[in-house]
Structure 1
Amino acid sequence: MIRNPVVAGQFYAGSPTLLKKEVSSYLLPKAKKIDAKGCVSPHAGYACSGPVAGAVLSHMKERKTYVILGPNHTGSGSRFGLDMDSVWSTPLGEVEIDNNLAQAILDNAHLIKKDSSCHMSEHSIEVQLPFLQVLNNSFKFVPIVVSQGSLDEYLEIGQGLAKAAQETKTDLSIIASSDMTHYEPYKMAEEKDRIAIEKILNLDIEGLLKEVEEHDISMCGSTPTAIMMAASLKLGAKKASLIKYLTSGDTCSDRTSVVGYAGIVIF
């Protein structure tokens, strides 16, 4: 089954030529590659978040496989749903799912269910693919949509992802697709995002979730980020680094109501 793109021509160019040019304009050819276990990358329209996504993914060492975790904006399907029935299409071509790793994830992270329905209208994973296609023309991936749950659930899933990678000896990185604060004044968004980013940089999963709740930080991908952090730590990550932070007020809108974008690597 082909999973056709749902935001081509909206979030990013629908023409292959224009899309490759668009993506390339955000990439950093001279970026120092980091042997990262995971990262946070934004998922808005490229005019808004492309500079941050391009920067963080440019710094990632290329892998044969990526696990991409995205929030469930639509509310459809399973709480934690993995697609292994589809080939994903973008204007730049098709990307296959790593079914060997996907099955190992299902075997080791029992909260995750095989479910393509939650992916059909969800954009947060799709928008990462064109960057990876330009950076790395030979890779597979595993797409997992995740909904809000508990810290214990996130840790359990993260440990299951790590165990699946170890069992299959898969050379992978985990991408948590997330924007930061939504639709607040520029200074307020920066202040709130600084709090969340500090917890990610300290590799403090529980602290991140606590601050997101206490400070009402509208970070749509706090769940993907928490799971990515848990898996990365289990795979041996020791550090995190902020590659780039911007808001839509820096890129595509005025500053009265902005969305924040952070690019962070964990290694």
Structure 2
Amino acid sequence: MDREPAVAGRFYPGGRAELAREVAALLGDASEAAPAVAVLAPHAGYLYSGGVAGATYARTAVPERAVVLCPNHTGLGEPVALWPDGGWRTPLGRVPLDPELTAALRGCPGVRPDRAAHLAEHALEVQLPFLQARRPEVAIAALCLGPLTVEACLALGEALAGALRARPALLVASSDMSHYVSAEEARRKDALALDRFLALDARGLFEVVEREEISMCGYVPATVALAAARALGAARAELVRYADSGDVTGDRAHVVGYAGAVVR
């Protein structure tokens, strides 16, 4: 069973040609792309966060496979929900699942085959056109993560790394940063989280988000991806771009923050 687009025409253009043009414009010059272990990319509508996502993917050489991890905004389904078979469709075409990688992830702690968590979730879907533009033949494994403890995140990251040693793939952590606070507060709080992300400190990221009540919706996927990246030998991370919704709307009192980072 293929997962059909849920937010095409709302978060991003619904037509193939229009979407291809927009993604190409958001990516811009990708001549500095280099191999990466993981990326952190935002998932709002392209009008708001597409520039940050595009700049991040432009710095990333996308391989044949990717594991895309997103938060669960709907509350439906399993806490660690794996799309089990078929593929994902976008206006740019079909993204197949990598069957061997998906099968390997079934053995990771807490992972359950589950479609319900994915059907209306936008945070994974909006990553796919960027992956398709950078690597048209890309295949994925798709994980939607609900609330987890830090220990569960670290254990899942370690197990994910084990699966990727046999079948390497880019880790994509889908997350926006602070939500509906002033631009000043967003930058201050988001800097605390990004400091830990850039230090490759998975536990520290999780703990600072919870301690400081940072409304980073995808801190669980980011923690898992960081734990996996460290286990796979990642040595450094770089912040590609930070922005907020007020850059588009002009409203500096109530913004959502967006960050793009690459782990190598």
Q: CA deviation at 1:2?
A: 2.1
Residue equivalent to 2:197: 200
Give the match for residue 263 of structure 1. 260
CA distance in structure 1 between the aligned counterparts of 2:133 and 2:35, rounded to whole angstroms: 19
Partner of 2:58: 58
Alignment RMSD: 1.1
Q: Distance in 2 between matches of 1:29 and 1:57?
A: 10
> CA-to-partner distance for each residue in 1:196-253, whole Å, 9 max, x for gaps?
1111111111211121112110000000000000111111101110011101111344
Q: Please state whether the residue corresponding to 2:69 is helix, strand or coil.
A: strand
> Identity of aligned pairs, percent?
40
How far apart in 1 are the matches of 2:163 and 2:259?
Answer: 28
Kept after mapping to 1: 8 A contact 2:154/2:203: no
Aligned position for 1:136:
135
Distance between the aligned counterparts of 2:207 and 2:63, measured in 1?
32
Query: Does 1:214 pair with 2:211?
Result: yes
Cα contact 1:4–1:90 (8 A) shared by 2 = yes
TM-score normalised per structure 1: 0.96
* Superposition misfits of 4+ residues, deviation over 6 angstroms: none
Q: Which runs of 5+ in 2 are unaligned?
A: none
Q: Offset at 1:49?
A: 0.2
Cα deviation digits, residues 68-112 of structure 1 (max 9, x gap): 0000000101000000223211111111001101111112x1311
Query: 2:170 aligns to what?
Result: 173
**2:98 alignment counterpart:** 98
User: Which position in structure 1 is the counterpart of 2:35?
Assistant: 35
* Cα pair 2:150 2:203 within 8 Å, conserved: yes
Are 1:238 and 2:232 matched, yes or no? no
Contact 2:61 2:134 in 1 (8 A): no
Q: Distance in 1 between matches of 2:226 and 2:147?
A: 15
Letter in 2 for 1:121: A
Please tell me the residue identity of whatever aligns with 2:262: V
Q: Which amino acid aligns with 1:112?
A: V
Question: Does residue 152 of structure 1 match 2:151?
Answer: yes
What is the deviation of 1:29? 2.0
Cα drift, residue 35 of structure 1? 1.8
- Of 45-54 and 209-218, the range deviating more from structure 2: 209-218
2:187 aligns with one of 187, 190, 202: 190
Contact 1:28 1:55 in 2 (8 A): yes
How far residue 135 of structure 1 moved from its aligned partner, in angstroms, is 1.4
**Alpha-carbon contact 1:47-1:252 (below 8 Å) kept:** no
1:7 aligns with 2:4: no
The whole-number CA distance in structure 2 between the counterparts of 1:87 and 1:209 is 31
Is 1:85–2:90 an aligned residue pair?
no
Matched, 1:224 2:221: yes
